[in-house]
Amino acid sequence: MKVALILTSVLFLLSGCGPKRQARLSAKHVGGQAGSLVNFAHLEHLTEEIDFDGERVAIVHVYAKYPTYEWVDAKESGPEGIACVDDAGRAAVVYLRHYELTGDTMSLATARRLLRFVMRMQTEDGQFYNFIHADRTINIDGKTSYRSFGWWAARGVWCFGLGYRIYQKVDPAFAAELELRIQRTFPHIDSLLVRYGETLRYGSYRSPRWLLYEEAADATTELMLGLVEYYDAARNERVRDYIKKLADGLMLMQDGDVRRFPYGLHRSWRTVWHMWANSQTQVLAHAGKVLNDHAMIESAEREVVGFYSRLLINGFFKEVDVSEPEKKQHFEQIAYGVRPMVVGLIRLFEATEKNEYLVLGGLAASWFFGNNILQQPMYDPKTGRCFDGIKDSSSVNRDSGAESTIEALHSTVEVEHHPGALKFINYKKVETGVSAQGPFAVFQEDNGSEVILLLDLGQAKIVLLEGKESQEFRKKLAGPPD
**Angle at the Cα of 42 from the Cα atoms of 155 and 107, rounded to 5 degrees:** 60
User: Cβ distance 218 to 268 under 8 Å?
Assistant: yes
Neighbours of 272 (CB within 10 A): 15
For residue 266, give Cα distances in angstroms to 255, 288, 304, 404.
7, 16, 10, 23
Q: What is the mean pLDDT of the chain?
A: 92
Cα separation, 75 vs 108, whole angstroms: 31
User: In this predicted model, what pLDDT tens digit does every residue of 362-419 receive, in sequence order?
Assistant: 999 999 999 999 999 999 999 999 999 999 999 999 999 999 999 999 999 999 999 9
Question: Which run of H or E residues covers position 152?
Answer: helix 151-170
Cα separation, 48 vs 44, whole angstroms: 8
Give residue 75's pLDDT band: very low, low, confident or very high (50, 70, 90). Answer: confident
Tell me what pLDDT residue 4 has: 41
User: In this predicted model, what pLDDT tens digit does every residue of 152-168 receive, in sequence order?
Assistant: 999 999 999 999 999 99
Give residue 355's pLDDT band: very low, low, confident or very high (50, 70, 90). Answer: very high
In one-letter notation, the amino acid at residue 301 is E
**Counting beta carbons within 10 angstroms of the beta carbon of residue 327, is it exposed (0 to 12), middle (13 to 18) or buried (19 or more)?**
exposed
pLDDT (mean) for 229-256: 98
User: In this predicted model, what pLDDT tens digit does every residue of 162-201 receive, in sequence order?
Assistant: 999 999 999 999 999 999 999 999 999 999 999 999 999 9
pLDDT (mean) for 457-474: 95
Partner residues linked to 364 by β-bridges = none
Tell me what pLDDT residue 477 has: 85
Give residue 481's pLDDT band: very low, low, confident or very high (50, 70, 90). Answer: low
Question: Which run of H or E residues covers position 47?
Answer: strand 47-52
Query: 462: closest CA among 347, 394, 360, 316?
Result: 360
Q: Where are the chain's structural domains?
A: 198-314, 428-482
Cα separation, 243 vs 285, whole angstroms: 12
pLDDT (mean) for 470-474: 92
- What b/e string do you get for 292-319 counting C-beta neighbours within 10 Å, with b at 16 or more? ebeebbebbbbbbbbbbbbbbbeebbbb
